[in-house]
Amino acid sequence: MALDRKIAYINLTTGEIETKPIPISIRKKFLGGRGLDMYLMYNHIKPGIDPLGPDNVAFVSAGVLVGTLASATARTHIAGKSPLTGFVGSANMGGFFAPEMRWAGFDHLVIKGKAEKPVYLWIRNGEIEIRDAENIWGKTVTETQEIIREELDDRDIKILTIGPAGEKLVRFANVMTEIKNAGGRSGMGALLGSKNLKAIAVRGTMDLKIERPAEALEYNKRVITQVISAKVSQTQGRLGTPFIWGATNSWGGIRTRNFQANQFEYCDDIEPESIDEHAIGMAGCFGCQVHCRAKYIIPDGPYKGVYDEGPEYTAQGALTAEPGCKNLVNLLVGNHLLNMYGLDILETGSLIAWAMELYEKGILSDKDTDGLELRFGNDEALIEMIHRIARREGLGDILAEGGLRAAEKIGKGSIKYLIHVKGMSNLHSDERPTPALALGIATGSRGSDHLRSRPAIDLYGLPEPVLRRIYSQPVAYDGPISSHWRDYEGKPWEVRWQELCYEAVDCLGICKYHTIFLGPNFPNFEEWSRLLYYNTGLEMSPLDIWNVADRAYTMERLFNIREGLTRKDDWLVDRYFDEPTTRGVPAACGVTIDREKFAKMIDEYYEHHGWDENGVPHPETLKKLDIDKEPSHML
C-alpha cells in the first residue's frame, strides 16, 4: 500500500544503516514530508548544536501522497538546523526525486554524523549503500548527476545533490535535483556539505499500491480540471512563474535597488513576455499538468548555447530589480550560474543588492571589493559576485556567511540596510503596502518567507463573503475580515490559515500552485481528505488534516524556542516602519507599516495559535495537540 514505505537511519560516521516501518499512529499525527520531519528534528537534534557540526542531522523526505495518482505530488522536503539562521532549516523542491525515492521503498531518511571523505548514497529497491564520491567532489550540479548516472549505468536514476557552494559551506547553499529544481532557503546544501555528503541517488521499481484506484483516478481528474481550467494556471503554463512579476511590479510591490524603491521602471527586457520570447518550451514536475518551468538556451555572450531552465519569479527579482540590472541575457546567465553552483538565488541576489547599497553609501570601499565597482545596474559586477560568493573569494567569502554575520564583520552601521527576518533575506517583494504579507514574513518559522504563510489572494480584492467562506473551513472563524490589502483587520487569521494550509500540503507532498495560493477556488482541506482516502486508504477528515498541520507547525515553534527564538525575532527591520514607499499606484505609494498596529497583529496571531504574548505555546495548546510529552522518541 502507499503507506508501507520505510524510514532509514544512516550514520555517515560509522557506516551503520537501519530501516524501520513508520507506524500508522505516527502517520495520523504527522502524515509525512515536512510534518514528520519536524517531529524527527525535535527528537533527533540536540539543543544548541553547531549547525555545521557532525551533531546536526539532515532529513530528506517525501510527502505521503507523492508518487500516487494525486496531481502535482512531486515534492521533496529537506530539513535540519539551519546553518544560516540557527533556527528551523527547511527546504522544499519539485522534480522527480521524491516519487523515485518512494518507489525505491523509502519515505524518510535520517542522516547523522559525518563521513571521513566525500560520499554519496545509492538507494535502490529497499537497499542503501554508502559510496565513494571523491571523483565528483567539486563538480557542478549537472556534472554530478551525469557522472553518477554513467557510473551506475542507468539514465533513469534521480539524484539530489549539492554543488560547489554546498561543499564550501556557503550558509545559504541549496540542494538541487535535475537542472534547476532547488531546495532553497535556510542552507540545507551547506548542511549536506558539512557531512561530506555530495549526493543521494535513487532508483525504484517497487509498486506503490493505490488503495482505491478507480475512485482515485476519477477524483484526480476532477481536481486537475479544477486547477488547469483557472486562468492563473493557463497563464502560468505559458509564461511560467515570472507572470507574477508583471502584475506585482505594475502596482508597486517590487523591492528595488535593495530597499530604495518599490517599482522597477523601464525594464521591458526582463518582463515575462520578453523571457517567453527566448523560451524553447515548458517543463513540469512529476504528476503536474501546468508545466510552469521555461526551458531556454542562452542566446549570446560567453555562455552562448548553454541550456538551462527558469528563471523563476524569485530569480527575476533577485537578479534584476534588487541589483537594478535590466539585461535579459544577464538574468539568464545569473540563473544558470546559481543553479550550477547550488546557491539560493533569492539570498544571493538580496545580499549582492545589499552590498551594492553599502558600496554606493561609502560603507564598502574599492579595497573591500578588490576594485570591483559594485554599483546598482552593473551587470558584470552582479555576475562576478555570484562567482565570488560560490567560491568564497574576497567580499564573497564574507557574504557567504549570510547577512547577519556579514554585517557584524563589515560594521559601520551596515546592518541598517540589511533586509531580513531572523537572518534570512527577504523576497524581492515590498510588503509595506500589504500588512498581511508583512506579518507572514515576520512570523515565518524559517525566516523571511513567501512560501510558508503568504495570503497572496489578499491582493485580489475578493468580496468579504468569499474570503469568509475560504477562511472558515475546516474550522469556523467569525472574527473580522477585510477585502482590502491595505487593511490590518482580520489579517492575522488569514496568515495563520495559510500557514496551516501550506504546512498541510508540505506534509502531503503537493505543489503549492495546486492549492489556495494564487487561486481562491483551488483545492484545500476537503479535497485533500478525499485524495488521502482514495490513494492511501487513510481516513482523515479535513479537520484532522488541519490538526496535523497545527501540530507540526507548533513543533517548529518549539524547536525555534529551544534554539533561542523570542518575540523580537518575529519582527521587521526598521526600514519597513520608517521609510515610505515612493512609487506605484496611489494606494501603494507613500506608505509604511504602522508599528503599533503591527504589534497588535502579532498579538492576535499568537492568540489564534494558542501561544502566550511572547509567542510560547500554552501548556493546554500542547496537550490539545498531543505534543505535551515531546520529545517522545517514538521514531
pLDDT in tens, 521-547: 999 999 999 999 999 999 999 999 999
Task: Report the side by side order of strands in the sheet with 127-132.
Answer: 127-132, 119-124, 197-203, 158-161, 175-177, 181-183
pLDDT tier at 257 (50, 70, 90 boundaries)? very high
Q: What is the mean pLDDT of residues 264-268?
A: 93
Asked if the structure places residue 530 within a domain, the reply is yes
Give pLDDT, residue 374.
Answer: 98
Asked if the structure places residue 222 within a domain, the reply is no
Cis check for the bond before 83: say yes or no (omega within 30 of 0): no
| CATH code for position 455 | 1.10.599.10
Q: What is the mean pLDDT of residues 425-435?
A: 96
- Asked whether residue 445 falls in the same domain as residue 582, the answer is yes
Give pLDDT, residue 247.
Answer: 86
Q: What are the cell numbers at 553? A: 507547525
Distance CA 327, CA 511 (A): 31
Asked if the structure places residue 140 within a domain, the reply is yes
Q: What is the mean pLDDT of residues 442-452?
A: 94
- pLDDT above 90: residue 499: yes
Ramachandran sector of residue 584 (left: φ over 0; alpha: ψ -120 to 50; beta: rest): left
Write down the mean pLDDT value for the chain. 96
Last residue of a domain, one of 203, 229, 262: 203
- pLDDT above 90: residue 404: yes
Phi and psi dihedrals of 561, rounded to 5? -60, -40
Q: What is the sign, positive or negative, of the torsion defined by CA atoms of 387, 388, 393, 399?
A: negative
- Asked whether residue 361 falls in the same domain as residue 483, the answer is no
Asked if the structure places residue 210 within a domain, the reply is no
Asked if the structure places residue 245 within a domain, the reply is yes
Asked if the structure places residue 169 within a domain, the reply is yes
- Asked whether residue 414 falls in the same domain as residue 442, the answer is no
- pLDDT above 80: residue 587: yes
Give the chain's domain count.
3
Q: What is the mean pLDDT of residues 139-150?
A: 98
Give pLDDT, residue 62.
Answer: 98
- DSSP characters for 477-533? --S---S-TT--TTHHHHHHHHHHHHHHHHHHT--GGGSTTT-TTS--HHHHHHHHH
Provide the Cα torsion 272, 278, 281, 286; round to 10°: -60
| CATH code for position 387 | 1.10.569.10
| CATH code for position 59 | 3.60.9.10
pLDDT in tens, 456-472: 999 999 999 999 999 99
Cis check for the bond before 474: say yes or no (omega within 30 of 0): yes
- pLDDT above 80: residue 450: yes
pLDDT tier at 572 (50, 70, 90 boundaries)? very high
Give pLDDT, residue 370.
Answer: 98
- Asked whether residue 402 falls in the same domain as residue 544, the answer is no
pLDDT tier at 277 (50, 70, 90 boundaries)? confident
Longest dimension (CA), the chain: 68
- Asked whether residue 352 falls in the same domain as residue 478, the answer is no
Give pLDDT, residue 246.
Answer: 82
Q: What is the sign, positive or negative, of the torsion defined by CA atoms of 455, 177, 165, 311?
A: negative
Asked if the structure places residue 216 within a domain, the reply is no
Mention every residue, 6+ apart, whose C-beta is less than 8 A from residue 33: 61, 62, 63, 64, 66, 75, 77, 506, 507, 508, 509
pLDDT tier at 327 (50, 70, 90 boundaries)? very high
- Residue 547: domain span: 435-624
Give pLDDT, residue 294.
Answer: 93
CB 107 within 8 A of CB 64: yes
- pLDDT above 90: residue 275: no
- Asked whether residue 399 falls in the same domain as residue 491, the answer is no
- Asked whether residue 87 falls in the same domain as residue 181, the answer is yes
- pLDDT above 80: residue 1: no
- Asked whether residue 176 falls in the same domain as residue 295, the answer is no
pLDDT tier at 343 (50, 70, 90 boundaries)? very high
Asked if the structure places residue 219 within a domain, the reply is no
Q: What are the cell numbers at 377? A: 545596474
Burial class (CB in 10 A: 0-12, 13-18, 19+), 8: buried
Q: What are the cell numbers at 113? A: 554524523
pLDDT in tens, 101-124: 999 999 999 999 999 999 999 999
Give pLDDT, residue 2.
Answer: 84
Q: What is the mean pLDDT of residues 277-293?
A: 92
- Asked whether residue 142 falls in the same domain as residue 242, the answer is no
Q: Which of 263, 170, 200 is CA-nearest to residue 59? A: 200
- Asked whether residue 133 falls in the same domain as residue 282, the answer is no
CB 384 within 8 A of CB 372: yes
Percent of the chain with pLDDT over 70: 100
Give pLDDT, residue 278.
Answer: 86
- pLDDT above 80: residue 296: yes
Q: Which of 18, 74, 47 is CA-nearest to residue 514? A: 74
- Asked whether residue 341 falls in the same domain as residue 476, the answer is no
- Asked whether residue 376 falls in the same domain as residue 523, the answer is no
Distance CA 318, CA 331 (A): 9
